[in-house]
Structure 1
């Protein structure tokens, strides 16, 4: 059940892959400084320097919540056990404050596009995992949409089931990490100014 849902009239044509799935090329081991391909042609200039994308990851002591920050994006990962009962997509009342905290950060960043992706472990059938992960992502999206109350925000909601594990599914500790909902949105350079300029 990999579907895209938008709370406003806009929906994504080509949905994004989940965070942390991009392929990164390995750096060369040795650089030959005399290689003619490394010399600039006559009259050419180097491009302006830019800061590389640096990732900062902070996980709470219990491992129930993780925040990843890069130069371009913020991602929150919440463990399913914290949000839902076993094999359930019904949010507990106490978990809504955690989602409200994420809504505050979305508001502070002035994000107009929010991705909410659900994941499960590899126990049970793949079809069941796909459905459960989508239902859990939908539940989180509904709370975020109510908290933000902003029709200009587009939501991309997907259930990936057991795809894209971040830990080993052969142990309960690993499976627990894989059962999660991730909320990600673009980072703005001047968060407080971005929405007020519009």
Structure 2
């Protein structure tokens, strides 16, 4: 059964942005091909900014403040670049702490299906190579849908799609890596669900992992 899209905040793609985000650690399951039941409440890159590690002294004589001026609340700034390839079929986000790939569902699955297409294997293999290059030990695989159809159906389908991608990905990576799989359904859109172009971007599977663990 199809229902009309609900009005939700739009998250439009930009080629390069500065975002106040902090990638938090996850409560992960035992090592190996495992799934964690305790998953983050929001996907990586969408958390609220954490408190900065250093407190700024507003009375510091070296701090040039205009008369009557005050300091804004401190934030942790994380530089993030966003690049889309192949007409938006693949989206890569690089931040100081994290790498995230988003693959549109249409290039991985048939309509309303969680069965991977033949083309999906090569795209997942490319992500596996990047995971190994970064020497990552934790990988998150999260599924998302647009806001058409029921929310319950979207939750189930997005989880099934994340599991399908993880099944192929995990076979190409060391057994010491811990995996975290979740379906978020229509939550956390990255584009406007009011247009088909936006909904297409929101129907996706994201694979994210820490960067900088390589020597």
Q: TM-score range by the shorter chain?
A: 0.7 to 0.9
Query: Would you say the 8 A contact 2:35–2:181 is kept in 1?
Result: no
1:58, CA displacement in angstroms? 1.2
CA deviations on 1:21-73 (whole Å, 9 max, x unpaired) are: 12249xxxxxxxxx974328xxxxxxxxxx95211111104110011111111
- Misfit runs of 4+, over 3 Å: 4-7, 9-14, 35-38
Find the aligned partners of 1:152 and 1:133 in 2 and give their Cα distance: 25
Q: Name structure 2 gaps, 5 residues minimum.
A: 1-27, 51-55, 62-75
Residue in 2 that maps onto 1:171: 195
Query: How many residue pairs were aligned?
Result: 168
Q: 1:91 aligns with which of 116, 137, 141?
A: 116
Distance 1:118 1:127, change over 3 A: same
Q: What's the offset of the Cα at 1:12?
A: 4.0
**Are the counterparts in 2 of residues 6 and 155 from structure 1 also a CA contact under 8 Å?**
no
Match of 2:21 in 1: none
Scaled by the length of structure 2, what TM-score is found? 0.71
Change (3 A) 1:13 1:90: closer
Q: Is the 8 A contact 2:142 2:207 kept in 1?
A: yes
Structure 1, unpaired ranges of 5+: 26-34, 41-50, 194-198
1:53-68 equivalent positions in 2, closer than 5 A: 53-68=78-93
- Equivalent residue in structure 2 for 1:73, among 98, 103, 123: 98
| CA deviation string 1:98-147 (max 9, x = no partner) | 00000000001000100000000111111100000000000000111111
Structure 1 residues 176 and 73, CA, compared in 2 at 3 Å: closer, same or farther? Answer: same
Is 1:141–2:166 an aligned residue pair? Answer: yes
Using the alignment, how far apart are the partners of 2:140 and 2:150 within structure 1? 25
Q: TM-score, normalised by structure 1?
A: 0.77
Distance in 1 (alpha carbons) for counterparts of 2:117 and 2:209: 24
RMSD: 2.5
Instruction: Tell me what 2:180 maps to.
Output: 156
2:111 match: secondary structure: coil
In 1, Cα distance between equivalents of 2:124 and 2:34: 23
| Structure with more helix by fraction | 1
